[in-house]
Amino acid sequence: MQDPARHLGLQLHMLGVSGPSEFERAFTSAARSRAQAVHLTETPMLHTYLARLAELATRTRLPGIAFLKQTVEAGFLIAYGPDVADLHRRAAVYVDKILRGAKAGDLPFERPSQFDLVINARTARALGLTIPPSLLLRANEVIQ
């Protein structure tokens, strides 16, 4: 993510955590360094604590951005990423082909083709942000 950020004139600060006891420190550090947003790289450990992470993002006034819709449902501002249901449907097609005798190594690699943009309008209001109408119109879902 560093190279694209640099190309866009953005500065990234990576704040790693090894457990929930470090969440508060990471968000406080981000707020002190005047971060303008926080991007959650979703891992099973972080996914377990989405509500807590969303609460910390809102309390430190940092718009939270991630890939999965569940993060926005928990209180993050925006999620943009592959449509997970579509990925599961595509996986089922591959399983069917393999069960019918296809070699897994012979099947082509596919990139996601459908993406979801989900916006939490309630979080935007709590952060004092106005989401442009053009972005709201492009969203697959807006949580009120």
pLDDT digits (tens, 9 = 90+) for 61-70: 999 999 989 9
**Residue 73 maps to which CATH number?**
3.40.50.2300
Element (H, E) at 64: strand 64-66
What is the Cα–Cα distance from 34 to 37, expressed in whole angstroms?
9
Q: What pLDDT is recorded for position 12?
A: 86
pTM, entire model: 0.83
Mean per-residue pLDDT over the chain, rounded? 92
Distance, CA of 26 to CA of 45 (rounded, Å): 15
CA 132 to CA 100: how far, in whole Å? 49
Tally of CB atoms within 10 A around 12 = 12
Q: pLDDT band at 46, cuts 50/70/90?
A: confident
Are 85 and 92 contacting, i.e. CB atoms less than 8 angstroms apart? no
Number of domains the chain is built from:
1
Q: What is the pLDDT confidence band of residue 5, given thresholds at 50, 70 and 90?
A: confident
Give the range among 4-8, 50-54, 124-128 with minimum mean pLDDT: 4-8
What does the pLDDT look like over 96-130, one tens digit per residue? 999 999 999 999 998 999 999 999 999 999 999 99
* Burial of 113 from C-beta contacts in 10 A (0-12 / 13-18 / 19+): exposed
% residues pLDDT > 70 (the chain):
100
Range of the structural domain that residue 95 is part of: 2-143
Averaged over 6-29, what is the pLDDT?
Answer: 90
